[in-house]
Amino acid sequence: MKQIRSASILFLIATAVFVWSEPAISGETLDFAVIQPGQPGTSQEAQPVMDVLAAYLQKKMGPGVTIKGFYFNKLDLALDFLHNTPPVWGIVRLGFYSEQASRFRMTALASTRPGGYNKDIWRLVVKKDAPEDWKSLRGKVLGNILFETDAAACLLFGVVPAQLPFTLGGTFRPLRSLRRVIKGKTTGVVLDRAQYEALKALPLVKKIKVVHTSGELPASPVVWFGTPDDRTKRLATILLGMKEDRDAETLLKLLQTDGFGPADKDLPGFRRNEKGAVCFP
Q: Give the model confidence (pLDDT) of 147-167 as tens digits.
A: 999 999 999 999 999 999 999
Return the pLDDT at 78.
97
Residues 205 and 235 in one domain: no
Residues 98 and 179 in one domain: no
Helix (H, G, I), strand (E, B) or coil at 143: strand
Contact (CB, 8 A) for 60 and 18? yes
Query: The whole model's pTM is what?
Result: 0.87
Per-residue CA distances from 39 to 52, 92, 176, 215 (Å): 20, 12, 14, 23
Q: Is residue 266 part of a domain?
A: no
Looking at this protein, which amino acid is placed at residue 44? Q
Helix (H, G, I), strand (E, B) or coil at 129: coil
| Paired residues of 257 in beta bridges | 114
Residues 113 and 230 in one domain: yes
Q: Is residue 161 part of a domain?
A: yes
Q: Is residue 267 part of a domain?
A: no
Residues 45 and 147 in one domain: no
Give the N- to C-terminal CA distance of the chain in Å, as an integer: 37
Contact (CB, 8 A) for 255 and 160? no
Which structural domain range is residue 32 located in?
A: 2-117+219-261
- How many CB atoms are closer than 10 A to CB 33? 23
Residues 110 and 125 in one domain: no
Q: Is residue 47 part of a domain?
A: yes
Average of per-residue pLDDT across 242-259: 69
Tell me how many domains the chain contains. 2
Q: How confident is the model at residue 48 (pLDDT cuts 50, 70, 90)?
A: confident
Average of per-residue pLDDT across 200-220: 95
| Paired residues of 126 in beta bridges | 209
Of 217, 244, 272, the residue that ends a domain is 217
Long-range contacts of 240-249 (CB under 8 A, 24+ apart): 240/18, 240/110, 241/18, 242/16, 242/17, 242/18, 244/18, 245/16, 245/17, 245/18, 245/19, 247/19, 248/16, 248/17, 248/18
**CATH number, domain containing residue 200:** 3.40.190.10
Return the pLDDT at 253.
55
Q: Is residue 274 part of a domain?
A: no
